[in-house]
Amino acid sequence: MVRVGQAGKTTERMKAIAKELAEIDRTTSQVVDCIVETKNRTVIRQLENKLSEMEQPKLPLAENIAKCGTPVRNHG
């Protein structure tokens, strides 16, 4: 059995997070396109709410990428 080192795990995790962020960006771009194309104010409002919900996970994901590879501190 081949064991992946800590650096390898960190790289894999960063790639997975980056992929998730890219998917969120792609989907939000599609929603923005729908907002631009529609004239119905109710639909626009609903799409804006959806866009806001979709953007919420991005900050924690970006923070996780920033933390990858940093040592965990022991509290105690």
pLDDT (0 to 100) of residue 2: 42
Inform me whether the pLDDT recorded for 75 exceeds 60: no
Q: What is the pLDDT of residue 67?
A: 81
> Please, what is the end-to-end C-alpha distance for the chain in angstroms?
35
In sequence order, the 6+-apart residues with CB closer than 8 A to the CB of 27 are 54
pLDDT for position 3: 47
Give the separation between CA 48 and CA 33, rounded to whole angstroms: 11
pTM (predicted TM-score): 0.68
Query: According to the model, what pLDDT value does residue 42 have?
Result: 97
R_g over Cα of the chain: 18
* Tokens 């599609």 found at: 30
pLDDT at 71: 62
The residue among 12 and 40 whose pLDDT is bigger is 40
